[in-house]
Structure 1
């Protein structure tokens, strides 16, 4: 066992042995998820799109970078990244970031009630390396710039209202955002090797033009209690936001972020971890850590974007790894849900469910070519559990 693995096992092992139980059911410092049989069973052979899926599921290509989206006159953007879905009457909209620098931005695809594509268009232009982001309860898309002193841009998925820069949410290497309607805050991840985990407290919920940026303060262990401290200068210059508050907890490469049921989960790619904050007890712990898998090979590596289903399953996309979307169940089982074959130079991005939960959207950022101009956006349909 490597020293790094041993130390992490020692820190977590004592806590998990003492408490046990399921992360989702509120037990303190439960053991991180372990490999097992997922609720949908084994993956089948690759389909015509090169995607391995469980029985009963199927895939289709929605868009390809540089090519006109079917039934529209709009050419899809390069390097598709973070995404989200929005109800649109009986249909819905899927938005997707473009992680290129310069000229990143975001686009949207509109669907009818039957899933037919009825439109595609730009919703954000002139920004840089828009990686992940998050949906707000008032149906806007927060598109985050993954560059030094990057901005969060609030955008309209319908493309009617102009996008608005939100500097009060802090200037740093933004990754993802997740809205908490109970505490009326937005959680934010930072993609730095010594990044921090933040929350933005708007002056008025629903208006992100002003408010307070706070950073999580905690010890160095992988579980414990935490508090929030205000970042003195959210502008991040000359002192970066992540170094302004003594005692703020460092996270190795913050990526995806998801809120549900008084908990927030986020991933850190530098150490292949999924973290969970219990927002009612103000405690944090590991939901998954690839180096703490106790038997067999870790099924989830290269953790990146994350979303959740109505059943409480987390769906975690891989940046590299074996090009899988893995799920972590409320019973602390981690298993592959799908795998893309023949695209090992890419990464999976932007997982998001349609409003009715029957369709999962995501992208392969660089597709079969390994280039940002080769991105492919997919839809998977099937018997997702409620």
Structure 2
């Protein structure tokens, strides 16, 4: 596939229409500056679900397509705690979904091998990352689903990555794979000596309809820290990474060979040009000036060393070197020449922020300082009735930004091109966060997880019809 076609496919699979989202920026900006944020109707009022699980607008429907604990086609069980997801175009109209599972080694009741790990003996050990000396295998990883939109059925479901821990979010690549991130920094020898491997890495999982456990190889040069999510620039293959810490950094990885992440590269952290160690969190008890809304600030990038960080101090050393600090960087999504990422606990009332980053014309090159990238605080509602604890995010094909709330009574919140926030879905069945919201490549279906309940849902409806 040539570069231009690959890039178009990547944007389509990401559910992106650049002009639509630029329209979102143009309309939201004055609303945010004026402090006149408003909750609109979006697709209309949310109607009570007879099943008591998911309230949706009129004309919308959902179907539970996967439940934790059910048998998969490979003989293992659907793991619990589903989190970040990526979608890819499969054969004959199928959708390939690669799904994370945020599980620890002791999540026995939610793992793929049964409560006593009795099915672990059947796993391909050579592909499994951390066997935990055979008694405490790491139970995180990914599963892959092959979904048929025509029938609404999952035709295949299997374990695709095993032996990792707390796979939270990740991101799709232009070359057809899913990057899954470990949100932990446990070391080999932890958990009473049972862990055999260091954790806190990014792993790559090809999007495939063939049931196979891929060999788990950490991309170590992307750093070891509390990874959350990634986004890949299709023009440069530069990977941008978020860190789920209250004092986390925002990173980028410049690969030595574009599209070949295992070939190595350079890890850096974002700094605001001329503002050493800038605090972007805008917490009310912090001293110093607030980070401005809708003002693009030029950035520079700080080189990082000792990126394996056995003391889990990468962010501290980066901050001391001048990098900016963020409040729990989480979901991230790449648009047309720009990316957006959520900071779950940012803002004056710690209800969340959304940042926008525009790479420079010479991003990642030696002379990039002549045309630096810009960081902008895109939205900070400071109103929990409008938005609280924004986590995973995705951009709809028509330009709306959809955010999953990490809360016991969460909503999927949209921001429309006319500047209005609206509620798309409400979890009324389980005291658990929404996670992993993502559109199918053709934009017809929105997939989302109810994490604590172990459910993956497909939402369909009249997406083009606003109230």
Whether TM-score is above 0.5 comes out as yes
Could you say which residue in structure 1 is the equivalent of 2:234? 181
Paired residues of 2:28 and 2:418 also in contact (CA < 8 A):
no
> SS of the residue aligned with 2:315?
helix
2:299 and 2:27 mapped to 1: Cα distance?
16
**Structure 1, 128-137 or 262-271: larger mean CA deviation:** 262-271
CA contact (8 A) 2:24 2:400 kept: no
Matches within 5 A, 1:69-108: 74-89=76-91, 90-102=93-105, 103-108=139-144
Q: C-alpha deviations, 1:292-324, integer Å up to 9, x for none?
A: x5xxx6321021111111112111101106311
Give the direction of change, closer, same or farther, for the CA distance of 1:156–1:22 in structure 2 (3 Å limit). closer
CA-to-partner distance for each residue in 1:221-249, whole Å, 9 max, x for gaps?
42432222221222124572212232201
Matches within 5 A, 1:291-370: 291=382, 293=383, 298-320=385-407, 322-344=409-431, 346-367=432-453
Greater helix content: 2
Q: 2:307 aligns with which of 230, 234, 248?
A: 234
Of the three residues 179, 185, 201, the one matched with 1:142 is: 179
Give distance in 2, aligned partners of 1:343 and 1:34.
29
Tell me the residue number matched to 2:461: 382
| Residues 230 and 26 of structure 1, relative CA distance in 2, 3 Å threshold | farther
Is the 2:31–2:37 contact (alpha carbons within 8 Å) kept by the matching residues of 1? Answer: no
Specify the alignment match of 1:278 in structure 2.
358
For residues 259 and 40 of structure 2, the distance between their equivalents in structure 1, rounded to whole angstroms, comes to 41
Name the residue aligned to 1:202.
255
Structure 1 residue 110 displacement after superposition? 0.6
Measured after TM superposition, the shift of residue 191 of structure 1 is: 0.7
Distance verdict in 2 for CA 1:197–1:26, change over 3 Å: farther
**233-242 or 375-384, which deviates more:** 233-242
Unaligned segments of structure 2, at least 5 residues: 1-21, 106-138, 186-198, 273-277, 280-289, 347-351, 361-371
- State the Cα deviation string for residues 339-365 of structure 1 (Å, max 9, x = none): 010322x11111111111010111111
Structure whose residues are more often strand by fraction: 1
* CA drift at 1:285: 2.4
The equivalent position to 1:212 in structure 2, one of 253, 266, 271, is 266
TM-fit CA distance, 1:28: 8.1
SS at match of 2:376: strand
How much has 1:74 moved relative to structure 2? 4.9
CA distance in 1, matches of 2:233, 2:203: 18
| Partner deviation per Cα, 1:59-95 (whole Å, 9 max, x = no partner) | 01111111236x8855211111111111111211112
**CA deviation after TM superposition for structure 1 residue 290, in Å:** 3.3
Distance 1:363 1:63 in 2: 9
CA contact (8 A) 1:82 1:349 kept: yes
Given the alignment of the two structures, is residue 172 of structure 1 paired with residue 251 of structure 2, yes or no? Answer: no
Structure-2 change in CA distance of 1:81 and 1:117 (3 Å) = same
Q: Quickly say closer, same or farther: Cα 1:334–1:376, change in 2 above 3 A.
A: same
Task: Rate the CA distance shift 1:327–1:377 in 2: closer, same or farther, 3 A.
Answer: same
Q: TM-score, normalised by structure 1?
A: 0.85
After superposing on structure 2, the runs of 4+ consecutive aligned residues of structure 1 that deviate more than 4 Å are 26-30, 71-74
Task: Note the 1:243-254 alignment, pairs <5 A.
Answer: 243-245=316-318, 246-254=321-329
Residues 266 and 276 in structure 1, CA contact (< 8 A), matched pair in contact too: yes
- Tell me: CA distance 1:23–1:384, structure 2 relative to 1, closer, same or farther (3 Å): closer
Instruction: Name the structure 1 match of 2:365.
Output: none
Structure of larger gyration radius: 2
**Conservation of the 8 A alpha-carbon contact between 1:74 and 1:120:** no
Counterpart position of 2:39: 36
Q: Distance in 2 between matches of 1:317 and 1:144?
A: 18
Could you say what secondary structure the match of 2:62 adopts?
A: strand
Q: Structure 1 residues 384, 306: CA separation in 2 closer, same or farther (over 3 Å shift)?
A: same
User: Are the counterparts in 1 of residues 225 and 312 from structure 2 also a CA contact under 8 Å?
Assistant: no
Q: Distance in 2 between matches of 1:320 and 1:27?
A: 24
RMSD, aligned α-carbons: 2.5
User: Which residue in the other structure is 2:192 paired with?
Assistant: none
